Structure 1
Amino acid sequence: MDASQAIHRIIVCTLCRDPATGTRTGEDLCADLRSRLSADSEMALLDYAVEGIACMAGCARPLTVAFQAAGKASYLFGPIDRQTDAVELLEFAKLYASLADGWCNSGQRPAGLADKTLARIPGSNSAAGVGI
C-alpha cells in the first residue's frame, strides 16, 4: 500500500543493529510485516503501510517500531526482536486499528510488548489521558 494513502502506519528503524550480531534487521522486519499483512485477509483490510526510516533515536533499545495514524496516539516500541516479536506487532496492529483515538493501557497491549513500550504520544486531536 502507498504510505501516503494509508490510514495507519507501522514505522521501523532501518539503522538499528541487532546487539548480538551487529546486523541491521529493520528492512527484513519491514518485509516480514508487509508479507504477513497482505497474506491475512483480515489484516489486509486494516489499511496499514509499513515504512522503514533511518533512525527513531531508540538506539539504546534496538530495534524500534512505531505505530502512527492521524488523530490517534502514537506508540514507540523497543527493543524488538525481528523473529520473535512480529506476531505481537500484528496483534497490536489489530488493536490499534480498532481504537478510535489509539489510546490503550498496557494491559490491553499484547503481553510481549507490555515491557517494550518506550512512548505513547497523544494524537493531535485527542484529549485522552489528560489529567492522568
Structure 2
Amino acid sequence: MDHRITICTSCRHKGTECRPGFELIEKLRHAIAKAGDFVPDDFEISGVACMAGCDRPCTVAYHGTRKATYLFGDIDPETDVEDLVTFARQYAYLHDGWCSSVDRPGKLRASTLARVPAAMIVTEESKVRAS
C-alpha cells in the first residue's frame, strides 16, 4: 500500500478518560470501505500510541510514498469522518501530496498541525571513464 492514515490512540478529551482514537479508526475504516471507488487507492488505517498532539486530540496523520505528510488535530469521530474520507481521495491523487489549506475539505483547513515535506534522498551517479 502506498498510503497510510495513522490515528493516535492515546489522546484524551480534556478532563475525561475518553480516548476517541479507537472509535475514529473503526469509523474511518468503515467509511473508506463504503466510499468504494470514491477513494481510488487502498489506505492502510492504523493506530499508534502517541503522536505528541495531546493538546489537540484526536490527531490523524496522512502518509504516502514520496509525498508530504500531514498531521491534523482536534478531529472528532462524530463529525469529521466525511472530511477525512474526502481528504483521502484528494491525497491519493496529489502527485507529491502538497496542497494549500484552502484546498483541504471542511475542518481540515484549520486543524492542520503540520505538513512535512517528503524525504528525498538524491545521489549522483559517478561518471568514471574506463581506460
Q: TM (normalized to structure 2)?
A: 0.86
Q: What 5-or-longer segments of structure 2 have no aligned partner?
A: 122-131
CA 1:96 to 1:25, structure 2 compared with 1: closer, same or farther past 3 Å?
same
Aligned residue in 2 for 1:73: 68
- 1:102 equivalent to 2:97? Answer yes
Distance 2:104 2:38 in 1: 17
TM-superposed CA distance for 1:81, in Å, is 0.8
CA 1:44 to 1:90, structure 2 compared with 1: closer, same or farther past 3 Å?
closer
Q: TM (normalized to structure 1)?
A: 0.86
Distance 1:53 1:109 in 2: 24
- 1:119 equivalent to 2:114? Answer yes
Distance 2:54 2:103 in 1: 26
TM-superposed CA distance for 1:21, in Å, is 4.1
Distance 1:72 1:86 in 2: 22
- Alignment partner of 1:33 out of 4, 28, 37: 28
Distance 1:95 1:32 in 2: 19
Count of paired positions: 121
Do the aligned residues in 2 keep the contact of 1:107 with 1:114 (CA within 8 Å)?
Answer: yes
Distance 1:76 1:14 in 2: 14
Superposed CA deviations along residues 11-65 of structure 1, whole A, max 9, x for unmatched, are 0000011236431111111011111111221145311010100000000111100
Q: What 5-or-longer segments of structure 1 have no aligned partner?
A: 1-5, 127-132
- Identity of matched residues, %: 45
Aligned amino acid, residue 114 of structure 2:
A
What RMSD over aligned residues (CA atoms) do the two structures have, in Å?
1.5
Distance 1:78 1:30 in 2: 14
Do the aligned residues in 2 keep the contact of 1:72 with 1:125 (CA within 8 Å)?
Answer: no
Distance 2:115 2:75 in 1: 16
Aligned residue in 1 for 2:128: none
Distance 1:59 1:88 in 2: 21
Q: Which has the larger radius of gyration?
A: 2
